[in-house]
Structure 1
Amino acid sequence: MMTSKSEPLAGKIVSNGKKGSGLAKGIAGMDALNALNTMVDGTLDYLRLREEERTKRAKLDTYERTELRKIETAEAVLKDYFRQAFAERKQNTDELFARYDAAIERGDADSAHLALQGVIDIAKSSPLNDLGDLGQIRAALDNEKHVWEL
């Protein structure tokens, strides 16, 4: 039955077909007990599942924090390594360029060539090459007791 927006909703109340003053008199005692047991069991299952999921979430949060700490630690180690490695490389390249400039001023082509070759060799190499096998680095990062020596 459709009503217009200005009319209130109207309908007919249908009884359960049994005599009595209400629905409660028409339900058998066992049906009510079964309904109550279903509610209690459902609630207990829900509460148990909710607690299990909270525990899983807590474990995931702990794992996430632990992994992020490992990443942050690795980042700090790598930054320190690069800072030291590039400082050493800068010192070496500065010295080689000074030797190159001095060789050019003297007109010493062989010494200039050797100094320039040294700069090229430094440019070709990566500080990561000195670290070795990256798998070993990962294993060291996973080992909380590993001591990093730079």
Structure 2
Amino acid sequence: MTKRGDLTAAVTHAVSGKVAKGAKKAVPGGSLVDGIQRMHQAHSDYQKLREEERTKRLAILADRDVTIERIRAQHDTIKTALADTFNLRKTGLEAQIRAMDKALESGNVAALHVVLDGMVKTIQSSPFKDIADMREKFSDQDFVLRLK
């Protein structure tokens, strides 16, 4: 009961030994010894290549997992930033609407003009520009996000 690997090792040892080299010269079947040596070398090359490819696959999977986690982190950060930005804009616009109502009630046209200008500026500004800037910073390898 010998394992296949043990048998291969034994044949390889016998073939590569001095006895085999002498037998190769003495025996007309020397090409058989060459054939076994070539088979062993081919098998060794195959095993080496197989291990290299396995390592490459594992590296690809690890890179994939890292990339997915980075995308998830960016997604969560952007989602939170958008929610915070829109809540802030909502609060600001609600305050501007209250100020507009007071200006209308008091008949103060100058105050109404100022409030409406502020509302237009708030509505025209895009929170997506800030998100794009943040995304650009995330892509910079030297960027460090400090949370307080």
- TM-score of the two chains, using structure 1 as the length reference: 0.66
Partner of 2:6: none
Whether the 8 Å contact between 2:100 and 2:116 is mirrored in structure 1 is yes
By how many angstroms is 1:51 displaced? Answer: 0.3
Q: Tell whether 2:64 aligns with 1:64.
A: yes
Structure 1: stretches of 5+ with no match in the other structure = 1-27
Seen in structure 2, the aligned counterparts of structure 1 residues 148 and 77 have a Cα distance that, compared at 3 Å, is: farther
Displacement of 1:138 after TM fit?
2.8
Aligned CA RMSD, in angstroms, stands at 2.5
Partner residue in 1 for 2:5: none
- Identical counterparts, % of pairs: 24
Alignment of 1:44-59 (within 5 A): 44-59=44-59
- For residue 31 of structure 1, report the CA deviation from its aligned partner: 1.8
Q: Counterparts of 2:56 and 2:49 in 1: how far apart (Å)?
A: 10
By how many angstroms is 1:147 displaced? 3.1
- Structure 2's unaligned 5+ residue stretches are 1-27
> How far apart, in 1, do the equivalents of 2:107 and 2:143 lie?
56
More helix per residue: 2
AA at the equivalent of 1:93? L
Distance 1:148 1:114 in 2: 36
Distance change >3 Å, CA 133–CA 71, structure 1 → 2 = closer
Q: CA separation in 2, counterparts of 1:37 and 1:66?
A: 44
> How many Å apart are 1:135 and its aligned residue?
4.3
Q: 1:88 to 1:58 in 2, by over 3 A?
A: same
Structure 2 vs 1, CA of residues 134 and 69 (structure 1 numbering), >3 Å: closer, same or farther? closer
CA displacement, residues 81-123 of structure 1 (integer Å, 9 cap, x when unaligned) = 1111110001101111222233234433222221111111112
Task: Give the TM-score of the pair, scaled to structure 2.
Answer: 0.67
| Compared CA separation, residues 72 and 133, structure 1 to 2 (3 A) | closer
Equivalence for 1:77: 77
Matches within 5 A, 1:1-150: 28-129=28-129, 135-139=136-140, 142=141, 146-149=145-148
Q: Which amino acid letter does the alignment assign opposite residue 147 of structure 2?
A: W
Partner AA of 1:31 in structure 2: S
User: In structure 1, what is the Cα distance between the partners aligned to 2:122 and 2:45?
Assistant: 66
TM-fit CA distance, 1:134: 5.3
Q: CA separation in 2, counterparts of 1:106 and 1:77? A: 43
